[in-house]
């Protein structure tokens, strides 16, 4: 047998060495000192050494490497023997006290057997490597090893307790398969007096294939003292890939036979057969039902628990918060619950403010117009028990849900399967009806508890969503109410202005100048009322953007409008200065400050208004010698809404003024002393543009 420079063997054993090394590293980091785990770790490490020696021998053909390959092969088999014997004696059926390890004399016997087998096996193999032929005696020892291994696997599986078989089933399957492989390889070599190079070359990958089975058993048996977890996603996708490969190989083989036996029709039949096979493969690969059944099968037979709760909860949370962008928020909740039990869709009922429950959303299920009473038997049953109701189980055991008194509309929904209550903090927000699963699922305690917990999480999500909507609506009303308060405050000032005008009308009604001034004042008041109504409709944001405004005409209009009041307003300076803003709002702010100063000052006092430039700042100063304000009120209450020192004041003007000045990027300062007076300074950035100021146009809605 010439296996020197065997490319297939190099790749086979090289891949096996890498796989065993990776698994050994994972086991090494996860091992917590358990004796059973020690046997497994030793066997995997020795398997890695064996694969490295075999790959090196296949590439070089050195006799010493062949002996090393035999040595590590013998040692790893003995390590698996040690694990099987430890499991066998742990069953307590062989009178050794139920210990976790075999007695010392058993280990010594295995060692002597290994030395004998290695001696018998290595000498003929060395002769084969040197002379090209050997004797059948060299294949008898490894063949006996395989037979003894099969016997041990059978005894372990037979004598282990029934509840523990689930944990060691994958291990027994994997080791039994490798022993069968070795028995076939060495039996064939014993008959023909030489190893089959193809079978020997594939032995490396064949042994590597049992690693996933060993990992599953290791994860199932926590007493082996390994912290190891087998990813469900890896198992699922690996199984899918393996099944796809087997299917494609079968299709290719069948296509070959169709071509071979099809005579002159063979080529065409092969093409049609392969096309049909690939088409069916595409349908199966994208089949949600098939994937669901495969996932259920793997979870049922390979894992102690059906769900990987970390992955499921992450996926559930992501489905609730992100999910499919084509779905609404409520559809996300349905989809998240449906994915937990492989359901294609469902329907969501929510409690309305009236107390009734109506269908609020649906996914791949028909619309139902039925209404469920908030004080009905079904709702009371869900609030009291918070059970997940199996509608098919209700048909078989109606007495189980007798108190629920399931309504007729619920029984008549096609494909209705589960009713999941959405309850949180003892309150029922609604329920979700899920469609029948794509695969048969046993509704055990684990599934029901997960659905119940997920329903509670979905209820919290829906409650949060509703609270956010209510908060947004409340903010809208709050904004409207705040704007209404501003408008009412300005309307109060306009009413006061018109009242003063009406008061003076009796005395000056025949004066042409008064008549002209009255018409101008009324026209200005009407225009400002229109602007206030427009701003009330648009909200607190101005309907147009800031534009260049000259403050000089504004302060002159304010001085003229207050000319009849006492004390008289004195305009000390009023030089032209442009700022960016809104002329009506700037006039309202400055006018409010002036009116406050007049109201706070006795008739013999003094009130002044200044408009000056300080470098690039436009400064508006309003001062008085009135009764003033305390320092505490200026710092803590002056610019807060509904805080005022006036007996009939609303406490809105100062707040609105400060808010608007901040919107323009300016600042407002107050210096006030009780019984001395108050000075208010507004600082705004002066407009540096030298162009003519553009008029701020307000498009008034007269509708």
Model confidence pLDDT, tens digit, residues 424-436:
877 888 999 999 8
Residue 133 and residue 252 share a domain: no
pLDDT tens digit sequence for 219-243: 777 777 565 555 555 555 555 665 6
pLDDT band at 48 (very low <50, low <70, confident <90, very high): very high
Q: Tell me what the mean pLDDT of segment 290-300 comes to.
A: 55
How far apart CA 328 and CA 348 sit, in angstroms, is 12
Q: Tell me what the mean pLDDT of segment 651-655 comes to.
A: 68
Residue 336 and residue 202 share a domain: no
More confident call, 478 vs 91:
478
Per-residue pLDDT, 133: 41
Per-residue pLDDT, 86: 83
How far apart CA 579 and CA 81 sit, in angstroms, is 93
280: number of Cβ within 10 Å: 12
Lowest mean pLDDT among 38-42, 266-270, 412-416, 557-561: 266-270
How many domains would you assign to the chain?
4
* Residue 167: inside a domain: yes
Q: Tell me what the mean pLDDT of segment 668-691 comes to.
A: 84
- Over the chain, what is the mean pLDDT? 76
pLDDT band at 59 (very low <50, low <70, confident <90, very high): confident
More confident call, 656 vs 610:
610
* Residue 697: inside a domain: no
Residue 163 and residue 20 share a domain: yes
Residue 269 has pLDDT above 70, yes or no: no
Per-residue pLDDT, 430: 92
More confident call, 616 vs 248:
616
pLDDT tens digit sequence for 366-386: 888 888 988 888 888 888 888
Percent of residues, the chain, with pLDDT higher than 90: 10
Per-residue pLDDT, 432: 93
pLDDT band at 392 (very low <50, low <70, confident <90, very high): confident
* Residue 88: inside a domain: yes
Residue 461 and residue 387 share a domain: yes
Residue 338 has pLDDT above 70, yes or no: yes
Residue 274 and residue 189 share a domain: no
Q: Tell me what the mean pLDDT of segment 620-637 comes to.
A: 86
Helices (H), 286-396: 288-302, 309-321, 329-340, 377-385, 391-396
Residue 1 has pLDDT above 70, yes or no: no
Tokens of 347: 């329907």
Which segments within 425-558 are labelled E, that is strand?
427-435, 547-550
Residue 347 has pLDDT above 90, yes or no: yes
Quote the crossing angle between the two packed helices 35-60 and 211-220, to the nearest 10°: 170
How far apart CA 616 and CA 347 sit, in angstroms, is 65
DSSP string, 143-169: HHHHHHHHHHHHHHHHHS-HHHHHHHH
- The answer to whether the peptide bond before residue 567 is cis (omega within 30 degrees of 0) is yes
* Residue 592: inside a domain: yes
* Residue 274: inside a domain: yes
More confident call, 603 vs 3:
603
CATH code, domain carrying 559? 3.30.565.10
Per-residue pLDDT, 624: 94
More confident call, 297 vs 38:
38
Residue 251 and residue 223 share a domain: no
Q: Tell me what the mean pLDDT of segment 673-686 comes to.
A: 90
Per-residue pLDDT, 97: 41
How far apart CA 96 and CA 85 sit, in angstroms, is 12
Range of the domain at 35: 7-228
Per-residue pLDDT, 562: 79
466: number of Cβ within 10 Å: 13
Residue 347 and residue 265 share a domain: no
Is residue 694 within 8 A of residue 540, CB to CB? The reply is no
Residue 296 has pLDDT above 80, yes or no: no
Residue 361 and residue 277 share a domain: no
Q: Tell me what the mean pLDDT of segment 187-208 comes to.
A: 85
Q: What is the dihedral of CA 558, 559, 561, 564, to 10 degrees?
A: 150
* Region for 132 from its dihedrals, namely left if φ exceeds 0, alpha if ψ lies in -120 to 50, beta otherwise: left
pLDDT tens digit sequence for 113-125: 555 555 555 544 4
Q: Per DSSP, what are the bridge partners of residue 226? A: 31
Per-residue pLDDT, 534: 66
Residue 52 has pLDDT above 90, yes or no: yes
Lowest mean pLDDT among 152-156, 301-305, 536-540, 650-654: 301-305
Residue 23 has pLDDT above 60, yes or no: yes
Q: Tell me what the mean pLDDT of segment 382-399 comes to.
A: 79
Residue 289 has pLDDT above 50, yes or no: yes
Q: Tell me what the mean pLDDT of segment 242-267 comes to.
A: 61
Per-residue pLDDT, 694: 44
pLDDT tens digit sequence for 497-544: 777 777 777 777 777 777 777 777 777 777 777 766 766 655 544 546
DSSP assigned state of 523: H
Residue 132 has pLDDT above 50, yes or no: no
What strands lie across the sheet with 569-574, from one edge to the other? Answer: 569-574, 607-614, 617-624, 677-685, 667-673
Residue 275 and residue 182 share a domain: no
Three-state DSSP class for 623? strand
Residue 368 and residue 279 share a domain: no
Residue 129 and residue 72 share a domain: yes
139: number of Cβ within 10 Å: 25
Q: Which of 363, 543, 389, 368 lies closest to 455, judged by CA?
A: 389
Q: What is the dihedral of CA 79, 80, 85, 86, to 10 degrees?
A: 70
* Residue 521: inside a domain: no
Residue 131 has pLDDT above 60, yes or no: no
Looking at 447, 471, 495, which one is the last position of a domain? 471
Q: Tell me what the mean pLDDT of segment 193-201 comes to.
A: 83
* Residue 537: inside a domain: no
Looking at 228, 263, 297, which one is the last position of a domain? 228
How far apart CA 441 and CA 289 sit, in angstroms, is 12
Helix or strand (DSSP H, E) at 460: helix 445-508
Residue 314 has pLDDT above 60, yes or no: yes
CATH code, domain carrying 24? 1.20.1070.10
Residue 253 and residue 211 share a domain: no
Per-residue pLDDT, 422: 92
State the maximum Cα–Cα separation within the chain, in Å, rounded to a whole number.
143
Three-state DSSP class for 454? helix
CATH code, domain carrying 420? 3.30.450.40
Lowest mean pLDDT among 18-27, 300-309, 498-507: 300-309
Looking at 438, 453, 471, which one is the last position of a domain? 471
pLDDT band at 50 (very low <50, low <70, confident <90, very high): very high
């Amino acid at each position: 047998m010439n296996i020197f420079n065997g490319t297939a063997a190099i790749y086979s054993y090289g891949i096996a060495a890498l796989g065993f090394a990776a698994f050994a590293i994972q086991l090494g980091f996860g091992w917590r000192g358990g004796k059973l785990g020690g046997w497994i770790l030793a066997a995997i490490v020795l398997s890695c050494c064996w694969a490295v020696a075999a790959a090196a021998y296949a590439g070089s053909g050195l006799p010493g490497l062949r002996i090393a390959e035999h040595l590590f092969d013998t040692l790893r088999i003995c390590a698996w023997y040690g694990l099987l014997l430890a499991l066998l004696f742990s069953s307590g059926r062989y009178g050794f006290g139920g210990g976790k390890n075999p007695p010392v004399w058993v280990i010594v016997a295995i060692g002597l057997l290994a030395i004998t087998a290695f001696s018998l096996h290595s000498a003929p193999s060395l002769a084969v490597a040197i002379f090209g032929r050997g004797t059948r005696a060299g294949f008898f020892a490894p063949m006996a090893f395989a037979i003894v291994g099969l016997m041990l696997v059978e005894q372990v599986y037979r004598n282990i307790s029934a509840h523990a078989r689930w944990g060691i089933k994958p291990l027994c399957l994997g080791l039994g398969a490798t022993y069968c492989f070795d028995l076939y390889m060495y039996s064939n070599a014993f008959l023909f007096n030489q190893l089959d190079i193809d079978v020997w070359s594939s032995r490396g990958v064949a042994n590597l294939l049992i690693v996933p089975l060993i990992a599953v058993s290791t994860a199932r048996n926590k007493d082996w003292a390994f912290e190891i977890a087998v990813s469900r996603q890896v198992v699922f996708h690996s199984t899918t890939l393996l099944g796809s490969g087997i299917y494609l190989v079968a299709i290719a083989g069948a296509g070959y036979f169709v071509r071979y036996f099809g005579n002159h029709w063979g080529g065409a039949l092969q093409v049609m057969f392969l096309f049909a096979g690939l088409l069916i493969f595409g349908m199966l690969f994208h089949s949600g039902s098939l994937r669901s059944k495969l996932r259920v099968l793997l979870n049922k037979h390979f894992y102690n628990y059906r769900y990987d709760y970390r992955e499921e909860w992450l996926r559930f949370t992501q489905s609730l918060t992100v999910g499919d962008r084509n779905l609404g928020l409520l559809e996300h909740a349905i989809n998240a619950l449906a994915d937990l039990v492989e359901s294609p869709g469902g329907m969501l009922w929510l409690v309305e403010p009236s107390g009734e429950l109506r269908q609020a959303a649906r996914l791949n299920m028909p619309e139902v117009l039925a209404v469920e009473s908030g004080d009905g038997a079904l709702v009371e049953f869900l609030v009291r028990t918070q059970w997940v109701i199996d509608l098919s189980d209700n048909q078989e055991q109606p007495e189980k849900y007798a108190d629920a008194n399931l309504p007729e509309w619920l029984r008549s929904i096609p494909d209705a399967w589960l009713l999941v209550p959405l309850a949180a903090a003892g309150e029922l927000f609604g329920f979700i009806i899920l469609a029948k699963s794509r695969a048969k699922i046993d509704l055990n305690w684990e599934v029901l508890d997960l659905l119940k917990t997920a329903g509670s999480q979905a209820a919290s999500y829906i409650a949060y969503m509703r609270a956010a909507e209510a908060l947004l609506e409340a903010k809208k009303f709050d904004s409207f109410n705040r704007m209404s308060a501003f408008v009412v405050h300005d309307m109060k000032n306009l009413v006061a202005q018109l009242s003063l005008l009406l008061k003076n009308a009796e005395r000056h009604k025949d004066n042409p100048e008064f008549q002209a001034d009255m018409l101008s004042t009324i026209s200005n008041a009407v225009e400002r009322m229109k602007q206030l109504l427009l701003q009330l409709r648009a909200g607190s944001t101005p309907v147009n953007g800031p534009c260049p405004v000259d403050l000089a005409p504004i302060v002159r209009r304010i001085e003229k409008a207050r000319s009849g009041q006492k004390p008289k307003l004195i305009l000390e300076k009023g030089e032209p200065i442009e700022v960016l803003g809104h002329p009506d709002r700037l006039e309202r702010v400055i006018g409010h400050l002036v009116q406050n100063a007049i109201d706070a000052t006795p008739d013999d006092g003094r009130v002044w208004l200044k408009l000056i430039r300080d470098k690039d700042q436009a400064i508006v100063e309003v001062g008085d010698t009135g009764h003033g304000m305390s320092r505490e009120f200026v710092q803590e209450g002056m610019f807060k809404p509904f805080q005022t020192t006036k007996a009939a004041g609303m406490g809105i003007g100062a707040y609105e003024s400060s808010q608007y000045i901040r919107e323009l990027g300016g600042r407002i300062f107050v210096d006030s002393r009780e019984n001395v007076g108050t000075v208010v300074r507004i600082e705004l950035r002066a407009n540096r543009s030298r162009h003519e100021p553009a008029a701020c146009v307000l498009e008034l809605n007269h509708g």
